[in-house]
Structure formats: structure tokens, C-alpha cells
Amino acid sequence: MMTRRTQRRRADGVAGVTLRTTVVVGGGSSGGVIASRLSEDPRERVVLFEAGPDYRPGEAMPPSLRDVYNPQLRGEHDWGFEAHFVEPAGARNLVPYPRGRVMGGSSTINGSLAQRGTPEDFDAWARDGHHEWSWDRVLPFYKRLETDLDFGESELHGGAGPIPIARKPREEWTSDQRAMVEACVGLGYGFAPDLAGFEQGVVGPTPRNQVGEEYRAGTLVTYLKQARGRDNLELHPDTLVVRVVFDGEVAVGVEVDRSGSREVVAADRVVLAGGAICSPQILTLSGIGPREALDRLGIAPIVVAPGVGRNLRDQVFAPVLALPTKEEEYFGFRLMLKCNSGGEFPNDQLIACSYIAAASMNWDFDGGATAAVMLCPMVGKPESVGWLDVTSKDPRVQPEMHMNFLDGSTGDMERLEQVVRLCRQLTDTSPLAEEVTVLSPSATVMTSDEALREWLRQNAATGYHGAGTCRIGVEGDEGAVVDQRLAVHGTRGLYVADASIMPHITTGFTNLSCIMIGERMAAWLRDR
């Protein structure tokens, strides 16, 4: 192994100031924000490592990354992870678990749905002792990240942030989506032009983050585009971070692998932003993790942290697929129904409606068509908790992942069953019934509770919103990995800032919340 230690600080020859070096690991939804915001300060030097390739926005971007409406879940920009979705592990084959391996991370390949967490989500975090994450403290950072093209600067929305957000007008909905709204209203749901509001039981246009019709407005084409060319920002794509390097309890750099050649890059601070899978994996390979995992791998412990890799949460859904009765023109997710299962959190069930290419589905689509209507009935606030185990010292070997969807000790099966039945009620309600022919679940499946539950066990899918594996918690909380300002317990100079820090997953899609986490972390780093 070739090892080269770079200088932790360097002098700026013009200003004569000493720059503080921060290494950011992962150029995705959180890491891209941190690198961009932190490098706005000329006193900071930022070195960003991303395992995947980098593209400048323009013709050089592959066509797959320029399709703003169909998620790119498989291929050269995916990590290729697989997971056990239900327990016991042998009840289903391993299922692909897409994650973006490209500058911009999953924000470069996803469905461009710009949905926030709710006030109830964050106030629950605050009640657990994490007052820095109350709704009144996170809302300014949600506003900071966006330029809302429909509502502009307001009490709820931002008007000058890097991420453009807008909703597709009615004339750009597919005919089945227009029919879905009528069916929802006919069943007693309200219509809301702004789903960022706090109404319960409403249908409305999905806020989307995209740049015109060309790009997903992820961190690659927004934050990082703005930051390119700054003298104090270094972008290193195609570079795999192996571990954090320590001097005692102090993080002093990272070991990286570039095309099989390893080197140590020194830093004053290290921020892991690799997401709910890679961040706990890097921590474990660095000596921070459960005792049994470190012993099994022969890694000397820096901090014994039982919570690393535990508390894995994701939003489970079951795809309701249909063929439109007429050829559609517009692709993508354009509508959403928010409803409540009767539990503590409002709008804890979601139905996203899309017309989507079959190639963008995370399962085999045998409908005889290249595209289909997909209703995504989702448990937005799941109680089921999974885990991941690091099984190799080789960072290229993925952790063993157990999503544990529909855990029988929770009410998730009942909640998913409830929202799938609502979907089928909608598809059987005029005028939506005249617009689509449902393929699955079939009418036969719907006639029996047990048949539907078995169908759910076999078809439960990931919302692509993995979270929680390095969760926030107070000192002394055995399952906690970071404090509420995201410093790793038991260390100095090491932070985690991505979806893995969530103690409980936010209701609804998580990408915008990850960008918000990046904004919060960057502000704290600049203050330290």
C-alpha cells in the first residue's frame, strides 16, 4: 500500500492566512451542500471525495442523468447494493437497493420529489432532547435551500436558495392523474395547491426539484455547480474512502483508494456524508462500531458504539400498477395524496402517482408495456426497524442489510394494507376507473386479507429512503452515535451528516431533509 500524508494546513500565499482543512466524504445530497457552503468562506479549505464519477452539467452528462422524470435505479451510477426486505431472510430473494454512486449521490438519479419532513417529526426529535432539531430551528434551513418558483419567499418557502422547486400545472398532468384528483375529492379528501402546508387528508401537485426540463436539481447541478472553480475547494471523484485515520481519539484524516492505490489525506476535520449504508460502514472500518463487529473483523476499537449500523429505517410501499387506457404524454411523479392511518403523526400514509418507464421500476414489470401508471401507497412513518452488519474489511464488500419491513411486532403491515386498499378504492372510483386497467394487486388478491398480506410480504418495496444507522442521541444513550450537532461520540474532529443521523425517519421522502441536514452542518462547521 502506498501511503502519502498531506499537510493538514496550508498557507494562502496571497492573504497569508492559514486555512483549516475539512474532508467531506460523499458528494451527495448532504455532502455536496456541506462542501459548497463551507467553501464560501475563503478561510476554509474543503476536500470532497466521491466514490462515483463527476460530470459538469451540460452535454457531457449521460442521457440517463438528464431524464428528470424517470429515476435511474440500475446501471453505472448505482452502488449495486442488495438487501433482505423481510424476515426471516430466506422468505424472499435479495432485492436491489439502489443508491447513487455519482457526484450528487442519489439526488442525481432520483425522482426529483421535493418533500419536507413535518413539524411533528422534528418536534418529536426535540422532545427526545435534541432541541437543535425542533421545527422552528430547521424551517429556516429548509427555506435557505430553495427557490420556490410558485410561492416565492414567504413564511413557509424560500426565494433565493440553490434548489428550484415548482409544481406541474394541471395541463401537464396525465389524464389518469387528473382523474385521480377527482376520485380523491369524491372520497372526501381536500385539494391543496401547496403540499408543504399542514392540512391533513389532501391531494395536490407534488413539489419537484428540477432545472427546466433538463436536469434533476440535485446537489451536482445546483450547490456544486455554484462552487466549482473556487480555489479552496477540491473535488475528487472516483475515489473510495476506506477509513478515517485517528491520532488517539482525534480524527486526523482519511485513507482513500484511487484505482487500487491507497494514500492518507490529512485533515483538521472529517465529515462523513455517505448515507445510511456507507457512513456506518466507514465508521466500523475505522474502529467505531459494535464490539462484536470489530472483534469479528479484527479491528482495534477507537470507540465501541453499539448503535452503528442499527436503527435502519426506510419507508415501505407496495406498487399498485396499471395500464392507462390511452397513451400518455407526461412522465414523472406529479401528484400526491397525504392521508392519516389514525396514528400519532398526521399524513403518515402517502400515495404518489406517476406515469413511469418500466425500466425505472425496482422490480420486473411483466405488463407488456414499456411504461405504466404507478401508484405508490407508502407507510410514511414506519415503526419497523432493520439493521446492517459490516462483514468484511474490504470497503468494496457491501454490508449485509436487513430492512425488516412489515415487522410483525409493529402495525406497519396493517397500515400498508390500509393504504393499498385505499389505492384500489381509488382505481375503482370514477373517473379513475375509466382511465386505468389495474395489473396488480389483482382482484383475487384483494378479496382475502391473508392473500393481500402475503402479496405485501412478497412485493413490499423500498422507498429508497434509508436512514437512522448513525442516529442522534445524548451522551450515555447506548444506541446513539452522534450528538445533536452531529459530532461522533467519543471522538474529536469527526462528524456524520446525512440521513443516517435521523433518530426517526421524517414523514415522506427524505432527499430534501438530507439537503437541509447539509445546510445545518455547514453552518455549525463555519461557527466552530
Q: Is residue 80 part of a domain?
A: no
* pLDDT above 90: percentage of residues in the chain: 87
Q: What pLDDT was estimated at residue 369?
A: 80
Q: What pLDDT was estimated at residue 208?
A: 97
Asked if residue 270 lies in contact with residue 495, where contact means CB atoms within 8 angstroms, the answer is yes
Beta bridge partner(s), residue 324:
436
The answer on pLDDT for 479 being more than 70 is yes
My answer on whether 411 and 502 are in the same domain is no
Query: For 3, phi and psi rounded to 5 degrees?
Result: -120, 130
What rounded mean pLDDT belongs to the chain?
Answer: 94
Asked if residue 481 lies in contact with residue 489, where contact means CB atoms within 8 angstroms, the answer is yes
| CATH number of the domain that residue 221 is part of | 3.50.50.60
Tell me the mean pLDDT in the region 296-315: 98
Q: What is the pLDDT of residues 180-214, one digit of tens each?
A: 999 999 999 999 999 998 888 999 999 999 999 98
My answer on whether 379 and 491 are in the same domain is no
Closest CA to 513 of 227, 215, 276: 276
Asked whether the CA dihedral 395, 397, 398, 399 is positive or negative, the reply is negative
My answer on whether 374 and 501 are in the same domain is no
Tell me the mean pLDDT in the region 239-261: 97
My answer on whether 307 and 324 are in the same domain is no
Tell me the mean pLDDT in the region 315-329: 92
Q: What is the pLDDT of residues 434-454, one digit of tens each?
A: 999 999 999 999 999 999 999
Q: What pLDDT was estimated at residue 57?
A: 86
E strand map for 186-290: 190-191, 202-205, 207-211, 215-216, 233-236, 240-247, 250-258, 261-266, 269-272, 288-289
Q: Is residue 8 part of a domain?
A: no
Q: What is the pTM of this model?
A: 0.96
Q: What is the pLDDT of residues 265-279, one digit of tens each?
A: 999 999 999 999 999
My answer on whether 296 and 262 are in the same domain is yes
Tell me the three cell numbers of residue 332. 414523472
- Higher-pLDDT residue of 73 and 297 is 297
Domain count, the chain: 2
The answer on pLDDT for 1 being more than 50 is no
Tell me the mean pLDDT in the region 278-293: 98
Looking at 416, 443, 462, the residue that finishes a domain is 462
E strand map for 137-260: 146-148, 163-167, 190-191, 202-205, 207-211, 215-216, 233-236, 240-247, 250-258
Q: How far is CA 283 from CA 14, 25, 75, 243, 459, in A?
A: 37, 12, 27, 7, 32
The answer on pLDDT for 151 being more than 90 is yes
Neighbouring residues of 390: CB distance < 8 A, sequence distance ≥ 6: 280, 281, 284, 285, 289, 293, 297, 309, 399
Overall residue count recorded for the chain in this entry: 528
Q: Is residue 78 part of a domain?
A: no
Q: How confident is the model at residue 405 (pLDDT cuts 50, 70, 90)?
A: very high
Residues 71 and 74: their CA atoms lie apart, in Å, by 9
Tell me the mean pLDDT in the region 113-141: 96
Tell me the mean pLDDT in the region 394-409: 97
Looking at 441, 462, 483, the residue that finishes a domain is 462
Q: Is residue 13 part of a domain?
A: no
* pLDDT above 70: percentage of residues in the chain: 95
My answer on whether 155 and 280 are in the same domain is no
The answer on pLDDT for 244 being more than 60 is yes
My answer on whether 509 and 519 are in the same domain is yes
Residues with active-site annotation: 465
Q: Is residue 11 part of a domain?
A: no
Q: Is residue 73 part of a domain?
A: no
Q: What pLDDT was estimated at residue 363?
A: 67
Q: What pLDDT was estimated at residue 2?
A: 38
Task: Fill in the DSSP letter of residue 505.
Answer: P
My answer on whether 334 and 424 are in the same domain is yes
Asked if residue 213 lies in contact with residue 340, where contact means CB atoms within 8 angstroms, the answer is no
My answer on whether 333 and 443 are in the same domain is yes
My answer on whether 321 and 305 are in the same domain is no
Q: What is the pLDDT of residues 488-528, one digit of tens each?
A: 999 999 999 999 999 999 998 999 999 999 999 999 999 98
Beta bridge partner(s), residue 323:
437
The answer on pLDDT for 75 being more than 90 is no
Residues 89 and 167: their CA atoms lie apart, in Å, by 40
My answer on whether 205 and 320 are in the same domain is yes
Q: Is residue 441 part of a domain?
A: yes
Q: What pLDDT was estimated at residue 16?
A: 59
Q: How confident is the model at residue 7 (pLDDT cuts 50, 70, 90)?
A: very low
My answer on whether 434 and 336 are in the same domain is yes
Looking at 417, 434, 462, the residue that finishes a domain is 462
Residues 284 and 81: their CA atoms lie apart, in Å, by 18
| CATH number of the domain that residue 393 is part of | 3.30.560.10
Q: Is residue 83 part of a domain?
A: no
Q: How confident is the model at residue 5 (pLDDT cuts 50, 70, 90)?
A: very low
Range of the domain at 106: 89-215+313-462
